[in-house]
Chain A
Amino acid sequence: MADATLQHNAAAAHAAAGEYEAPLFGAYSKKVGMWLFLASDSLTFGALLFAFSYNRIYTIPWPMPFHVASIINASIMTACLLSSSLTMVLAVFAAQRRDTAWTRNWLLATMIFGAAFIVLHGMEWSKLIDEGLYLPGFMSLLGVSPSHAGGEYADVSKNVPQFTQAFFGLTAMHMLHVTIGVIYLGVVAFRKWFLPILGVIWVAAAFLIPAGNVFHYTVHVLGIALVVCAIILFLKPKDYDAEDVEVSGLYWHFVDLVWMFIFPLVYLMSTKIV
């Protein structure tokens, strides 16, 4: 009996000690966790960027498919992401002074910039695919006939498959991260109210995007995200505070940061001079 009491007291003392243990690096655990995730994620993107750079130097001649219209489009996409980072910082400031309305407004502005980036990127992808730049295996897997076999870039797809693989692999990975980022910010800003919004966007996109477009299939990522968000929001409902806004901001800035390498490496190193 005495032993049990001693053990109970020791456990209580240990729990109390743990409760008041100094946080790692003087930062709260969510922030340290996000930084560690971003460090590991940067290695994923680092490997992809190194592989693309290697291909760029190794492959001679390297295809130059990006006309001035593509460069302008990609520059606008870059401006959207940079501006979204600024609005994200303003959201963090608003959250720190507990201004709920402006936190939500700035988060919404960030989401709009992010969504604009995704739409512009999707249009760019569709244009390149229509002109013959495609992954043959991926298209046949989806049952989409490559009717554009005679497009401007059909030769690139056939003769330099490492370009299409590196381009679509890298940009798809980044686009997925941006999509997850927009959804993450939506959950932080609107909580359960974001679920019907996400559901409407998913259904509308699935119906409006034509069957021949690659995004007709990949848009169902939103459906998966809807289920995941619903599980999180219903199992652990909470009001997201300034710490959560700052942590979501870290993720968003990271997405912006990665694009700062993708844009010059993928687009500017493959510019078609007319």
Chain B
Amino acid sequence: MHDVAKHDDSKGQYFWVWGALLVLTGIEVWLGYNQVFSDPKNMLEVLMILSIIKSALIIGYFMHLKFEKSIMRWMLVISVTACFVIMYFFFFPDADRVKPPPNGVGIGQKS
């Protein structure tokens, strides 16, 4: 019988993680609905940071990666993160090259 992610953790911590995820979601909704950051780029960055924290909780606890061998943990995290960093450098330096025209109408839209 191979391992089935056996570890001496209690069920209680999963309820804490679930609660933390709900709280973080509530903060995101509050930030988004109140438009706390007027610049969409700043808003995007803050929401993505919160989402990365939530995803780390899900991957670490719910998907049990925290309890796997360190080589598996690092192989997966480094390879996927490296791909996302490459995507980031392809997309985002170019994303705001088009500045809004004075009348506020974007490219491809009717005035």
Contact = CB atoms under 8 A, between A and B. Distances in A.
A53 B95 CA distance: 9
B41 to A, nearest CB: 6
A83 B55 CA distance: 15
A28 B14 contact: no
Interface string A228-263: 000000000000001100100110011011001101
B55 A260 contact: yes
Interface string A37-71: 00100110011001101101111111000001001
Contact of B87 (A28, A46, A61): A46
Which applies to chain A's interface (DSSP): helix, strand, loop or mixed?
Answer: helix
A95 to B, nearest CB: 8
Nearest to A55: B95
B8 interface: no
Contact of B55 (A249, A261, A269): A261
Interface residues of A, number: 61
A26 B22 CA distance: 33
A246 B75 contact: no
A27 B3 contact: yes
Contacts of B95: 53-54, 57-58
B31 to A, nearest CB: 7
B9 to A, nearest CB: 10
Interface string B22-59: 10010011011101000011011001101100110011
Contacts of A85: 18, 58, 62
Interface stretch (A74-82, A119-127, A194-202): A74-82
Interface of A: 23, 25-28, 32, 35, 39, 42-43, 46-47, 50-51, 53-54, 56-62, 68, 71, 75, 78-79, 82-83, 85-86, 88-90, 92-93, 95-96, 159-160, 162, 242-243, 246, 249-250, 253-254, 256-257, 260-261, 263-265, 267-269, 271, 273
Q: Which 4 A-B pairs have the closest CB atoms?
A: A268-B32, A25-B72, A28-B2, A60-B106
